[in-house]
Each structure stands twice: as structure tokens, then as C-alpha cells.
Structure 1
Amino acid sequence: MTAHRPTASDQTQEAKPIVSVADLEVTFGELSVLEDVSFEVEPGEFVGLVGPNGAGKTTLLRALSGALSPSDGRVVIDGNAIDELPSKASSRLVSVVPQDTALSFSFDVRSVVEMGRHPHRSRFSPPSAADRNQVDRAMERTRTAQFADRSIDAVSGGERQRVLLARTIAQDTPLMLLDEPTASLDVNHQVETLELARDLVSDGRAIVAAIHDLDLAARYCDRLLLLADGSIRADGRPETVLTGAALEDAFDTTATIGSNPVTGTPTVTALPPSTAAVDSVSVEPTNLRIHVLGTGETAAGVSLRLAAEGASVTIGPVPENAIAAETARRQDLECVETEPFAPITAVDRERVISLVEAADVTVFADFPITTGSQLLLEELPETTFVAVESSEDAGEFVGAEANDRYAALLEKSVITTRAGVLDGIVRTIEESEYGPEHATLDRPVSKGDESTREERQSVETSSDD
């Protein structure tokens, strides 16, 4: 439930960057992996690297750690060109939690954590009291002290991840690099790991992490670098980087951006390619006007999906504190907002009915029937409906009349899923007598109609004349 927190860079504008990357290029033979990459990371900043597979995220982390020398450009860590430093010196500046947490030898957990102190002492000297204190604090912070004497092979994947985090904490570097730190973890360990990372940057460290999950990256990172084809496509706060246009450019997919109702951070929903068509006649979503009846997550998701396809979407009635209202505000959709926990007023009912009458199709999206919404149901005009119901209690209503009215409307509706709502809308148009009245949308070919589109157009033209 963590939202963004103020960073040290917010508080100390004069602080020098921990990381300074200028015109970085990395090539392997003829293959260019990174090109013209430049950015800085301040103390106390958590920067997420996001992008499709093969974008260059891991290569960039290797260049930051000094494990990989750039073909061109410079990587400077805390004032030092990292690729020019001896291994021990670079290890005092940068620590790494790799994606692969397997170790070659079955050390006990405490020995693994103590490895983080090697860059700080001479080769054959035993751990000092300061080293032991650092190890103890790191294990306490990561809750790994309880299995300090256990073999690293005998702990779970989530526990091993915490052990390697403890090692990097004990290493006590100004920069930490995390390569997909949540990739193989279940949900509770993902959150636990990133909560710990947030605590570490609050101490003034800088963290750069490659993160596959865009929602988690938006929730925990102060800033995101969006990589694609070896270059940075966007750099900034999560809400400015995670846009539909940027994600389409980087991932070559359509995505809608919502808002987490608890944290307020962006959420990303990737959409499958639309297969909507009426027989051989394509339906352009941009020609459709759709009204959504619902207030919750289903209504929000349906609205996002249809808006992303280019349809003209309206929604309501929706309590102003509902997730569907927040989605409408973020997407700039026309929305009839009502006072929470209050009956729907006659004025708002009239506004909703006018929007339904203007729409080509109206979508019931887990529409909640309450005492306050029964009147609206009774006043809804006869039109074309699609129903999306995902919850088990959807359709359980107050009063027999409301139940009967909704049941009657459902009998005339196409029932579909959230993902298939656009196809459901097209089916509704196909089964209607005339379809929406748009100049670019032909009347659908109904079953048994053997006339061609050209013949229909000829008849319609003659009628118009």
C-alpha cells in the first residue's frame, strides 16, 4: 500500500548524483545493445528500469556495476569512472542482487551475508567488530537472522532473495542494483522486497532496479526509465512515463492506464488485439458511442478498454468516490457523478437516460441495483444492451420489481466478459435490426440476408434520391 515518498533529491537540491551516465553505448560485435543512453540518479532515489524483454535492462545494470565496459560513453559512480576501478574499489561503490539467486557452494546463510564485507577488509583479515555489526544489522533488517546457521540450499526462494539483499546491505554501498528482484517471488514476498528497498533509499542510498511488473514499478519507484531497442524512450515520474502512447511505442501493444484505488499509483492493463467485426463488414470503434452503467472495477475496466479502442464512452450514475468515477476523471470521460450513499436524483436520472438514448449500445458492467437505482432501471429506454457480470453476487437486487426488470433487460442483452466486451458490442449491433446510425458503418448483414453490401447501398441511395 506504499505510495511515493519524498526522496533525498526532493530535500537536498545541491546533492551530487550517485550515478551519472553520459552517451553510453554497448555493442557485442555487430550487435548494438545500448545506444546514446544518458541519465543521472540522485542519493535517496529509487529508479526502475522497465521495458520489453531484450530492451537492454540487464546490460545497463552490468554497465553500472562495472562488469561490462562500454563501447562508448561514460558511467560515473560517486565521482569515479566505474570501469576504470579495481574490482574491490568498485565493490565498495556498487552492490548487486542478481536475478539468479543460486550459489555455487552450500555456505551457511551468515557466511553468505558476510561476503558483503569482503570489499572493506584485506584479503586474509578476519571480520572486525564493525563488520560483524554490519552483518547483524543487515540480517535483522531482512529477517534472516532466524536461519543464520542454515545452509543457503535449505532456504526457500523468497528467503534466499532476502539473504542476498542482506549481503548487499552489509556491503554498505551508495548504489544498489537489483535485477528483477520480484521475478520468482509470490505476491507477499514481492511487496516485502520492494518495501525493504524503499526503506533503504530513505537512508540515502540510490537503487536502480530492473522490474518486470509495471504496476509494482509504479507503486514503489520514484522514477522510471522506459527502455526499448537499447535506448531510453521515456524518463520521469511513473505517471508521466506510463502512458498509453509510450507503452504502445515500447511494447507494441495497446494498454490502458488506471489508478490503484488504495495507493493512487498508476495501473497498467494490456489489451489483446481487437477481433471485432460484423461478418465481412468491419466496425470501427471510433464510430461507436457507448454508455456504461456500473460503479466498480468492472465498469472502470470496461470503460478503459472501450476508450482505448477509440469509442466515445460515457458512464454513470457513479458515486464520486467510486473507482469508475476516478477512472472517468483520469480518462476525461463524460460521467454522471452522484453523492455517495444518496439516492439518484431526478436530474441525474434524466442525464443518464439522455446518454443512454444517445448511445449506440449501453453496457451493464456489474451494475449494482439498490433502492436508489431501481427508478433508473424502470425508466431506462428500450435500446441495445450488453451485460458484463464478473462477480457471483452481481444481479442480486433489492425488490422483486427491480429483479424482474433487470432480468428482462438481460434476456435482450448479449452476455460477455470484460475482455470480450467490444466483440459483445459488435454482436449486439449485428443482432439489432439496423445497427448504429453512422455514415461509415454499414447496416450489418443479418442471417438469411443474401443481398450484397453493394445492393443494399444501391437501394439506400435510390431511397435517398
Structure 2
Amino acid sequence: MSDMSSALAVSGLRVQLGEREVLRSIDLQITPARWTAIVGPNGAGKSTLLRAMAGMQAGHQSQSGQVLLQGRALQSWGSRDRAKALAWLGQNQTVAGEMSVYDVVMLGRLPHQGWLAPASAADHAAVQQALRETHAWDWRARSLGQLSGGERQRVLLARALAVQAQVLLMDEPLANLDPPHQTDWMLTARKLVQQGATVVSVLHELSFALLADEMVILQDGRVIQHGSCADPVTHRALESVFENRIQVRALDGHWLALPRLA
């Protein structure tokens, strides 16, 4: 698992929260330049796995095993280099509400800037590109506190995009987004992959998850299936972990997760 065939890899990963084992000896390799969706029932360990891959272990958790980023142990990366290589969009991120939208997105450029150095032309270009990509450019002078939940989510996505990292980890990126902007996010993920980036997202929206290249299905802290989103084995595993209360069906060349009504 020390080669460069994986953008991210975990080996023997265990996370303990008190007496509860949240992740149970997980081995996983994330293919570069692909979009991988992580799904599973509530409490399966999805967000915990994503945070572990980002090196964001919570202080009240104990963790063992190895995480590799681009073939190197995560802990061997310097903080600045790691922040350039890996961008993070988490749930309920705290950002000062009085900051302007533009300044919030500029935070994504901090790993590229020297200590107390002013933003460069490249920094401003990256921020503008990210804001336009997320359709947030028109609010750039507004404060974050003036925005709705969905608008705020788009700004935080722009901040992650502004890093221009090779690996992007996103925990429930569709939260608070209406359907058109959920579609915009999916198109952005696809564009990033086409440009050579690796996208890993935890999603509750299973039909969107099925649009990814690969799917990791978790249950009770274990990987039940890791495979192509078009693979019937993946479809059966997805139906199974949701107690066969959903069914995977094709429509117009895409796979959908639909309620099983009978």
C-alpha cells in the first residue's frame, strides 16, 4: 500500500469512541482521478472514515492503523504541504459570520501564501474562479452571516475549490442545497475528475452517489463493498445495507435509488 496507485489509502484503520468501535480494521484504496462516494446507514462510520483520511481525528477518539496520502504516511506531511495537496469540506464548519464571502474563500489560499504575505495574482484568480464555479461571485462583498444555509454551503465549497488540491474530501456537500445547485455540485465534481483531481464525498443522496465512479458502502464500521457504481454487485450491496427498502433501477442511462414500496 506504499505505492502511488492510490490517491488515499488506509490500512488496518480502527477508530474507538469510548467503548464503541466506530471503524473496524478498514483497508481501503481510493483510485486517483476518480470520484468515490461513501454511503451507508446512519452510524455506519462514514464521516469518521472521511475525517480519518483527512487527518482530522477528534480528541475524544482513539485511532490506530495507517493512512497514506499519495503514497506517503499522512503524519509525514508538513502541515502546509498537506493543506495544498488535500482540501476539506466538512459538516457545520465554523467561520466568522462577519467575514466577507471573498475573504472566506481566500482562506483556501493560505497554504500557498507566505507568512503575512499579501495575496498574489494567482490567489485572486483562484478565488474568482471558485466563486464563479459555485455561482457565488455576485455575493463576494456580502458577509457570510447574511447568507442562507444553501448559499453559505456554496461559499464553503468555493473555499475548498480555491485550494486547487489534487484530493478533495467532502462530507455531505449537498446539505442545504436545492436540486439545481446539487446538480451544479455534481457537475463540478465531474469537472475536477476530468482535470485529474480525486474527489471523495460522503453522501446521503443515494441517486447522486450512484453517479460517482466508485462507491464505498459501510455498515457497522466495516467496508461491505467497494466497486464501480455500475456494478450489479454494488447495487445489491446497497440495497442490502438499507434493508432492501430501496431498489436500484436504471433510467435514461443512469442508476437511481428508489423507494421499494411493495
User: TM over 0.5, yes or no?
Assistant: yes
The answer as to 2:215 corresponding to 1:224 is: yes
User: Aligned match of 1:78 in 64, 70, 83?
Assistant: 70
The Cα shift of 1:133 comes to 2.0
Q: What secondary structure is seen at the aligned counterpart in 2 of 1:92? A: helix
CA contact (8 A) 2:239 2:247 kept: no
Distance in 2 separating the partners of 1:42 and 1:113? 28
- Which residue number corresponds to residue 411 of structure 1? none
The Cα shift of 1:85 comes to 3.5
The Cα shift of 1:248 comes to 4.9
Q: What secondary structure is seen at the aligned counterpart in 2 of 1:106? A: coil
Distance in 1 separating the partners of 2:175 and 2:10? 26
Distance in 2 separating the partners of 1:171 and 1:25? 29
- Which residue number corresponds to residue 179 of structure 1? 171
CA contact (8 A) 1:101 1:161 kept: no
- Which residue number corresponds to residue 46 of structure 1? 35
Q: What secondary structure is seen at the aligned counterpart in 2 of 1:17? A: coil
Distance in 1 separating the partners of 2:226 and 2:181? 27
Matched positions, count? 256
Q: How does 1:276-315 map to 2 (within 5 A)?
A: 305=262
Q: Which consecutive residues of structure 2, in runs of 5 or more, have no partner in the other structure?
A: none
Distance in 2 separating the partners of 1:105 and 1:158? 15
Paired amino acid for 1:238: C
Q: How does 1:143-292 map to 2 (within 5 A)?
A: 143-219=135-211, 221-240=212-231, 241-244=233-236, 246-260=237-251, 262=252, 264-271=253-260
The Cα shift of 1:228 comes to 0.4
The answer as to 2:56 corresponding to 1:56 is: no
The answer as to 2:95 corresponding to 1:95 is: no
Distance in 2 separating the partners of 1:33 and 1:184? 26
Paired amino acid for 1:217: A
Question: Which stretch shows the higher mean deviation, 25-34 or 109-118?
Answer: 25-34
Indicate how the Cα distance of structure 1 residues 250 and 131 shifts in structure 2: closer, same or farther if over 3 A, else same.
Answer: same
Indicate how the Cα distance of structure 1 residues 257 and 138 shifts in structure 2: closer, same or farther if over 3 A, else same.
Answer: closer
CA contact (8 A) 2:83 2:111 kept: yes
Distance in 1 separating the partners of 2:132 and 2:4? 30
Distance in 2 separating the partners of 1:185 and 1:97? 14
The Cα shift of 1:135 comes to 1.6
Paired amino acid for 1:45: R
The answer as to 2:112 corresponding to 1:120 is: yes
CA contact (8 A) 1:175 1:207 kept: yes
Paired amino acid for 1:112: V
CA contact (8 A) 1:95 1:177 kept: yes
Alignment deviations for residues 273-292 of structure 1 (CA, whole Å, 9 cap, x no partner): xxxxxxxxxxxxxxxxxxxx
The Cα RMSD (Å) is 2.1
Distance in 2 separating the partners of 1:90 and 1:202? 22
- Which residue number corresponds to residue 371 of structure 1? none
User: Aligned match of 1:18 in 7, 14, 18?
Assistant: 7
Q: What secondary structure is seen at the aligned counterpart in 1 of 2:168? A: strand
Identity percentage of aligned residues: 34
Distance in 1 separating the partners of 2:72 and 2:113? 20
Distance in 1 separating the partners of 2:97 and 2:146? 12
The Cα shift of 1:87 comes to 3.2
- Which residue number corresponds to residue 302 of structure 1? none
Q: What secondary structure is seen at the aligned counterpart in 1 of 2:210? A: helix
- The structure with more strand, counted as a fraction of residues: 2
Q: What secondary structure is seen at the aligned counterpart in 2 of 1:243? A: helix
Distance in 2 separating the partners of 1:24 and 1:247? 22
The answer as to 2:128 corresponding to 1:136 is: yes
Q: Which consecutive residues of structure 1, in runs of 5 or more, have no partner in the other structure?
A: 1-13, 273-304, 306-465
Q: What secondary structure is seen at the aligned counterpart in 2 of 1:43? A: coil
Paired amino acid for 2:220: D
Distance in 2 separating the partners of 1:192 and 1:140? 12
CA contact (8 A) 1:47 1:222 kept: yes
Higher Cα Rg, which structure = 1
RCO comparison, higher one (Cα < 8 Å, 6+): 2
Paired amino acid for 1:187: P
CA contact (8 A) 1:67 1:83 kept: no
Paired amino acid for 2:121: A
Distance in 2 separating the partners of 1:79 and 1:243? 30
Paired amino acid for 1:85: W
The Cα shift of 1:24 comes to 1.2
Indicate how the Cα distance of structure 1 residues 186 and 142 shifts in structure 2: closer, same or farther if over 3 A, else same.
Answer: closer
Indicate how the Cα distance of structure 1 residues 253 and 130 shifts in structure 2: closer, same or farther if over 3 A, else same.
Answer: same
CA contact (8 A) 1:92 1:172 kept: yes
The Cα shift of 1:181 comes to 1.0
Distance in 1 separating the partners of 2:72 and 2:4? 16
- Which residue number corresponds to residue 16 of structure 2? 27
Question: Which aligned segments of 4 or more residues in structure 1 are displaced greater than 4 angstroms?
Answer: none
